[in-house]
């Protein structure tokens, strides 16, 4: 029910902390659902993706921009199959590395932002006052 439209205040079933805790639970559920969707897209749906070259690759091939293209330094045979959109990657090879990529990306980003928050808090914390002797 839309509380703003109905004009009714939100119903609470506990103390003042209850709505905040409920919002936190909703957010956790939302994040978990979003992560599951990302994993399903990476693992399952990605195998139906188009294997045609993307816009830049096509323009580069058509106009010779790729004449001096160099191979990727990390593109060895063991890693080639893990490239999300490699032309040498078959559909069945794509899902598992994509899943790994989703998890690594989520963790790296969340940890980076969390570390930035900690660094900010540390920088803003006032110096403890010197104790008089």
Partner 1 sequence: MHIPDGFIDGPTSLAAGVVAVGGVAVALRKAADDDLESRAAMTGLVAAFVFAVQMLNFPVAGGTSGHLMGGLFAAVLVGPWLGSLAITVVLVVQCLLFADGGISALGLNIVNMAFVPTFVAYGIFLLARKAAPATRVGLLSATAAAALASVVLAALAFVAEFALGGTTTVSLSTLSAAMIGVHVLIGIGEAVITTLTVGAVLATRPDLVYGAGQLELNEIPVLT
* Residues of this chain, 38-67, that bind partner 1 according to CB under 8 A: 38-39, 41-42, 45-46, 49-56, 58-60, 62-67
Q: Which is nearer to partner 1, 67 or 129 (CB)?
A: 67
Under 8 Å between Cβ of 42 and 102: yes
Residue 78 binds partner 1, judged by CB under 8 A: no
Under 8 Å between Cβ of 97 and 42: no
- Cα distance from N-terminal residue to C-terminal residue, the chain: 63
Q: For the beta carbon of residue 99, count every other beta carbon within 10 angstroms.
A: 18
Q: Which is nearer to partner 1, 15 or 30 (CB)?
A: 30
Q: How far is the CB of 128 from partner 1 (least distance, A)?
A: 22
Q: How far is the CB of 98 from partner 1 (least distance, A)?
A: 5
């Amino acid at each position: 029910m839309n509380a703003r439209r109905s004009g009714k205040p939100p119903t609470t079933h506990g103390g003042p902390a209850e709505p905040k805790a409920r919002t936190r639970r909703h957010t956790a559920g939302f994040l978990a659902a979003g992560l599951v969707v990302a994993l399903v897209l990476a693992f399952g749906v990605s195998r139906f993706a188009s294997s045609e070259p993307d816009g830049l690759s096509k323009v580069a091939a058509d106009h010779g921009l790729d004449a001096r293209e160099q191979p990727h330094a990390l593109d060895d045979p063991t890693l080639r199959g893990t490239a999300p959109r490699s032309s040498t990657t078959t559909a069945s090879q794509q899902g598992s590395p994509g899943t790994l990529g989703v998890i690594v990306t989520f963790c790296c980003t969340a940890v980076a932002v969390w570390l930035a928050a900690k660094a900010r808090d540390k920088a803003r914390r006032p110096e403890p006052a010197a104790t008089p002797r």
